[in-house]
């Protein structure tokens, strides 16, 4: 399962739905991955934060307890195809989000997100979502 930024932020905020889902995943001992585009978004949040040191520590701790997936050539191919397909039907998705979707599709992984844009576009981008 690949974690998307919105889910991680909800988890860190203590949102009950995210916390329950994280416990369920832990209980099932399902492999959980954090893609590098998500790390980009988290580190970008540090620069915007009023408490950057606290946020840096939170990210470092999170990375230590999860496998990080680097963005690969096959991920780039899938992301590019998704982006082109969406543009062809007049729909758009942010670059980082399309990279994350491409990683999930290329690897045959489910994407765990609370971002409604993924749900709205899931049929167009042909990935498995978990909310």
Topology classification of domain 2-116: Rossmann fold (3.40.50)
Q: What is the pLDDT, as a whole number, of residue 131?
A: 65
Taking the C-alpha atoms of residue 57 and residue 112, their distance in angstroms, rounded to an integer, is 23
Mean pLDDT across 44-64: 94
Residue 124 has pLDDT above 80, yes or no: no
Indicate the domain borders of the chain.
2-116
Strands (E), the chain: 2-3, 33-35, 67-69, 111-112, 129-130
82-108: per-residue pLDDT in tens? Answer: 999 999 999 989 999 999 999 999 999
pLDDT, averaged across the chain = 92
Q: What is the pLDDT, as a whole number, of residue 128?
A: 78
């Amino acid at each position: 399962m690949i974690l998307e930024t919105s889910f991680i932020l909800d988890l860190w905020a203590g949102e009950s739905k995210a916390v329950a889902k994280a416990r369920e995943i832990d209980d099932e001992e399902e492999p959980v991955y954090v893609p590098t585009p998500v790390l980009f978004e988290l580190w970008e949040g540090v620069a915007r934060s009023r408490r950057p040191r606290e946020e840096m520590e939170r990210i470092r701790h999170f990375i230590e307890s999860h496998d990080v997936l680097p963005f690969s050539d096959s991920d780039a191919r899938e992301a590019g195809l998704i982006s082109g397909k969406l543009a062809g039907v007049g729909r758009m998705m942010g670059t980082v989000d399309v990279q994350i979707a491409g990683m999930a599709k290329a690897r045959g992984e489910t994407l765990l997100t609370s971002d409604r844009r993924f749900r709205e576009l899931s049929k167009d981008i042909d990935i498995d979502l978990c909310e």
